[in-house]
Amino acid sequence: MQRLNVLFAVLAFSLVSLPAFASSQDPKGDSLEGRMQALESTQAEIYHTLAEKKAAGLASRITERITLSGLIEVEATAEGIDFADGGSDAASDLVLATAQLGFGLELTESLSGDMIFLFEEDATDLEVDEAAVNLELGPWSGRIGRQYLPFGVYNSHFVSDPLTLELGETRETALLAGYGRDLFTVSAFVFNGDAEKAGAEDHIRDWGVSLAVTPLEGIALGASYLSDLADTDADLLGGADYGERTGAWSAYLVAAWRQLEFSGEYLGATGAFAAADLDADGNGAGDEPAAWNLEIAWYPSGTLEVAARYEGSDQFAGQPETQYGLCTSWGAWENVSLSLEFLHGEFEAAFAEAGEEERELVTAQLAFEF
């Protein structure tokens, strides 16, 4: 918990100092969104958030109304683990980490649909990842179908997903409504999650809200809430019913200035689970899972970026208590990215599922969008 207090202190300092930080920019400098759009065709990485990954691709028009997009990622990994009992293990692999194919259908200016197929070697068999119908009427928007919910943002410049995403990523069949203006976007959604209260009838009772704000040039921040943390793809309860529902919240901040970008995000339970529902360390008290991620990225050129990460988790079984590392990415050709990262993780004994003490992970990735 001490590390979480440090995180809150860092974010609080950032919120206080960033208005002055932003006002010191060159008046001709771009906003965060504008800068990223300017680098869209030459940036070192194809995407930096989960939403951007799902939208990756060139959306090439194959008929008057249908577009096609795709993303291919091949990764080579080398991993070394030291165990608390003095043992060690090492492994390496080469996998097709992502094969994603998306179709878009434009019926009218206001009504559209999209469908995304996904395959991840050793992780996800070929499946319909997303399939939804979209409606846009001025500042109002709606989306219904299988989709990733706007709980957390997961901004990152690394190949490996941040721990915040490992805990909070949520894909469900849901109804989402949103309202957006230049300075803010707010959305709300309802769905029937997989986790259910023991003895309760199966109804649509899960929900969430999110808010994204861009108050100043180069600054984006927001927060979100999910009614049931057990509904995320982390599958904390392993498919078992629970006695008490536990919600979750997330907050993030992204600030860009010239060739630098800072991002921070926290995501965690609003309180402890009942001990009968989740008690990974077996101490008789319910767990209160949380994760956080801090990153700073430097863009020496439009096709090269270097990033550092410091992240951690609390009472999140199987994940490092702290983890840090470096990643460099190069836009070798248009729509092609090469990345190399190193991460060092340290585990809390009570939440290390296989007795891990330390882990070192090296990952090289080739990403290609079309």
- Domain layout of the chain by residue ranges: 2-369
Instruction: List CB contacts of 223: < 8 A, sequence separation 6 or more.
Output: 210, 211, 249, 250, 251, 252
Judged against a pLDDT cut of 80, whether residue 307 lies above it is answered with: yes
Q: Which of 17-26, 90-99, 168-177, 254-263 has the lowest mean pLDDT?
A: 17-26
- Domain 2-369: what homologous superfamily? Porin (2.40.160.10)
Judged against a pLDDT cut of 80, whether residue 212 lies above it is answered with: yes
- Position 267 scores a pLDDT of 99
Q: How confident is the model at residue 311 (pLDDT cuts 50, 70, 90)?
A: very high
**Percent above pLDDT 70 for the chain:** 88
pLDDT in tens, 320-345: 999 999 999 999 999 999 999 999 99
- Cβ neighbour number for residue 163 with a 10 Å cutoff: 26
pLDDT in tens, 28-61: 334 444 444 443 444 788 999 999 999 999 999 9
Judged against a pLDDT cut of 90, whether residue 19 lies above it is answered with: no
pTM beyond 0.85: the answer is yes
pLDDT in tens, 233-244: 999 999 899 999
Judged against a pLDDT cut of 90, whether residue 68 lies above it is answered with: yes
- Position 201 scores a pLDDT of 87
How do strand 66-83 and strand 260-269 relate by DSSP bridges?
A: unpaired
- Quick one: average pLDDT of 299-304? 93
User: DSSP readout, 178-218?
Assistant: EEE-SSEEEEEEEE--S--BTT----S-EEEEEEEE--STT
Mean model confidence pLDDT for the chain? 90
